[in-house]
Structure 1
Amino acid sequence: MPGAKVHPSYAESETFIEVDPTGRYVRYPELLGSGSVKRVYRAFDKEEGIEVAWNQVRLKNFKDDPVMVDRLHSEIMLLRGFSNDHIISLFASWKDDVSDTLNFITEVCSSGSLREYRKRHKNVSMKAVKKWSKQILEGLNYLHTHDPCIIHRDLNCSNVFVNGNTGQVKIGDLGLAAVVGRSHSAHSVLGTPEFMAPELYSEKYTEKVDIYSFGMCVLEMVTREIPYSECESVVKIYKKVTSGVRPQSLNKINNSDLKSFIHKCIAHPPSARPSAAQLLHDPFFHDLHES
């Protein structure tokens, strides 16, 4: 019709602020989360018609820290080779030389981190906690039995993500993961203090550190408190952990089966802790009847 304005398409009118080199992914300004290393934005995969997460790292912030840059590249390489329902999937990655950023596209979980999800939903049954726990263990078992063996080293409830409409949980943020292979041992002190096993501080440990962290995750899921929140500093947490003092929130648990299960996970020495595969068959989960 002569003189009529052409109405812009929905895609053209959307407020996206960045496009990947292939034109497949577009980034929106909405920030899903951020940390000391990367910022995660809402994004869209035009080819598949699904929402995704656009992870972006400003490399100039780490120009004096090549080790951290190496870790980020390691996370991308690790994720590329993974295929598990309980590990966050990686779809694409690239370095933008103009903006000096490292970008990678991962799947997005609709309800954010398990920590935030649990804060929003206070009334949760033990059955739900068991279902989340079992899925985390499925992810850990995949990492620990991978060839080579992978230790996450920073498992906590802010690194586990939830699809609230299905109850599915997935492990993410593998930037501190270690490939340990046949030796199953590592030597760097890394992680989140409240969730770090005692042996991590001695710089000689195996994948059993993830089992300890998992136990602390279960504790947080139930109490909605970060373990050792009674401590005012990292130093005090370190002293309690290395001397075998348990977090005060453990005293709030009255369910004997649950308390026993957590104690198995955080047992010391590490050899006393079951593997992820063994925990998946623990009596704690016997009342779950999943297909």
Structure 2
Amino acid sequence: MADAGTSTGQHNAGDGDDEIAEVDPEGSYCRYKEPVGKGRFKTVFKAFNSQIGIDVAWSKVRADSNHLSEEQLHSVAKDMMTGLELDHPNIIKCFRCWEDQEHGCINLITELFTSGNLRQYRNMHKHLDLKAVKRMAKQILKGLQYLHSMSPSVTHGDLRCDKIYVNGHSGEIKIGDLGLATLLPYRWEEHEGHKGAFDTSVDVFAFGLCMLELITLKQLDPQHCSDWPQLLQEVPDEEARAFIGKCLGPLDQRPTAEQLLADPFFAVRRDAKLSGLEPDGNGSARSLAPLEQESGQGPKMRRTDDALGGPGVEPEVGAGEASIAVGRLKGEDYEFVFSAKTVDGKLHFQLTMLGVTKPGEENQLKRDIEFVFDPETDTADSLAGELSQQFNLSPTDTEICAAALKEYLAKELGNDAND
């Protein structure tokens, strides 16, 4: 799968047809003329799905610029088409791929990530807490675990921070630029350590370098990095240094992506910060698995307080569990009612979303969702983003939900930290 493109511009309904350079064979996607990104193997353009109405990335791999024979171009196309079969929240979604024999190129249409790749994003946000790095790392590892667990296993082979993409609004992380196995020897042709067959341990080593880059802000690529042992010693956090060391260790001792996800490095630590750096407030999306119930009717509840943590009914909690007051905030389409309890440092929330009734409406939509919020790996923005996507919340309700949670978490977690 080729990279997702990056762009800050938005498609306008009034864009003239003269800006359209190409339409796919089925007439669903329109490619614009100006490229938004360029790599060694391909050029990325912004495109538009006219049937659904969303921006996408249109990548082109050309035979002439890559010095590919017709047979090699067929092989690359076959590699890239494997991306159509991949389906994971931390892998770039591939929508369509086809070979254009007349023009000697391959076309691939994928998701468009407007916040750019992880390298660009990290350089833009230099004040980053270790908790944020952990959130990014877990998402990358989940993507690698998915690829490596396939039969046969899929090895990325060229994992770098500029091959990993970010949704800045939610902190969602996705791995891109898969399916280029035929082209990889060109990338690694001068690197003795990676000649020959690739296996999943190569991805784990490359992941370790990505972690090292996120913490040290030193650009690292697997094929151009010989000083990583010295850089590793510059990592201020002892546990982070040990975790990265496992990834970069000898081949026969290198853990798998699945083993790394279970590493103690991801255990809850309230004092884990990168030395001299402060949080930038950017979170990450996680897999929300709500226990949801819907009903057409429910009690008509009026707004009481505009901030979480206000007066309300205390939830039932067991021995040794700290209770947290019910919070309620009225949005545009929903009234959000939160209650929670803390267990082992994690917040166990119950969220009730009550549809705001309009004049003349008798029934009130009610949704009950239960979830665990881990302060070390989750954020208010990531949660609100997931709720927005899952329940099609309006931008206003999404912002209200996130703002309420931020205010609440600042109050409760701030008190914890000062105890």
Range with greater deviation from structure 2 (204-213 or 150-159): 204-213
| SS of equivalent residue, structure 2 residue 20 | coil
Q: 1:50 to 1:36 in 2, by over 3 A?
A: same
Match among 82, 92, 95 for residue 96 of structure 2: 92
| SS of equivalent residue, structure 1 residue 146 | coil
1:46 aligns with 50
2:67 and 2:116 mapped to 1: Cα distance?
30
Query: What aligned pairs does 1:149-160 form with structure 2 within 5 A after superposition?
Result: 149-160=153-164
Match among 80, 105, 125 for residue 121 of structure 1: 125
Letter paired with 1:45: N
1:21 and 1:34 mapped to 2: Cα distance?
24
Range with greater deviation from structure 2 (248-257 or 43-52): 248-257
Match among 231, 240, 256 for residue 258 of structure 1: 240
2:221 and 2:28 mapped to 1: Cα distance?
44
Runs of at least 5 residues in structure 2 that lack an aligned partner in the other structure: 1-12, 269-375, 384-419
1:72 and 1:48 mapped to 2: Cα distance?
29
1:204 and 1:93 mapped to 2: Cα distance?
26
Contact 1:154 1:177 in 2 (8 A): no
Match among 213, 218, 224 for residue 217 of structure 2: 224
Letter paired with 1:207: T
2:77 aligns with 73
Contact 2:209 2:220 in 1 (8 A): yes
| SS of equivalent residue, structure 2 residue 162 | coil
Greater helix fraction, Structure 1 or Structure 2: 1
| SS of equivalent residue, structure 1 residue 83 | coil
Shift of 1:151: 1.0
Contact 2:131 2:377 in 1 (8 A): no
Q: 1:252 to 1:192 in 2, by over 3 A?
A: farther
Letter paired with 1:102: I
Range with greater deviation from structure 2 (72-81 or 18-27): 72-81
2:253 aligns with 272
Letter paired with 2:84: R
Shift of 1:84: 0.6
Q: 1:159 to 1:67 in 2, by over 3 A?
A: farther
Q: 1:39 to 1:215 in 2, by over 3 A?
A: same
Aligned residues: 259
Shift of 1:44: 0.8
Shift of 1:31: 2.0
2:267 and 2:115 mapped to 1: Cα distance?
27
Letter paired with 2:248: I
Query: What aligned pairs does 1:115-264 form with structure 2 within 5 A after superposition?
Result: 115-177=119-181, 191=187, 200-201=194-195, 203=196, 206-227=199-220, 237=225, 240=226, 246-264=228-246
2:66 and 2:43 mapped to 1: Cα distance?
14
| SS of equivalent residue, structure 1 residue 61 | coil
2:203 and 2:186 mapped to 1: Cα distance?
12
| SS of equivalent residue, structure 2 residue 137 | helix
Letter paired with 2:202: V
Q: Calculate the aligned-residue CA RMSD, in Å.
A: 2.8
1:80 and 1:228 mapped to 2: Cα distance?
27
2:362 aligns with none
1:126 and 1:192 mapped to 2: Cα distance?
31
What TM-score comes out, normalization by structure 1 length?
A: 0.79
2:176 and 2:137 mapped to 1: Cα distance?
15
| SS of equivalent residue, structure 2 residue 58 | strand
Letter paired with 1:226: Q
Identical residues among aligned pairs (%)? 37
| SS of equivalent residue, structure 2 residue 132 | helix
Letter paired with 1:275: T
Q: 1:204 to 1:77 in 2, by over 3 A?
A: closer
1:56 aligns with 60
1:265 and 1:154 mapped to 2: Cα distance?
15
Q: 1:19 to 1:95 in 2, by over 3 A?
A: same
Contact 1:76 1:90 in 2 (8 A): no
Contact 1:215 1:266 in 2 (8 A): yes
Shift of 1:74: 3.4
Higher-Rg member (1/2):
2
Q: Does 1:104 align with 2:102?
A: no
1:3 aligns with none
Runs of at least 5 residues in structure 1 that lack an aligned partner in the other structure: 1-8, 179-187
Shift of 1:23: 1.6
C-alpha offsets along residues 183-226 of structure 1, whole Å, 9 cap, x if unaligned? xxxxx8675699x8x8534x355311110110000001111112
2:217 and 2:377 mapped to 1: Cα distance?
26
| SS of equivalent residue, structure 2 residue 219 | coil
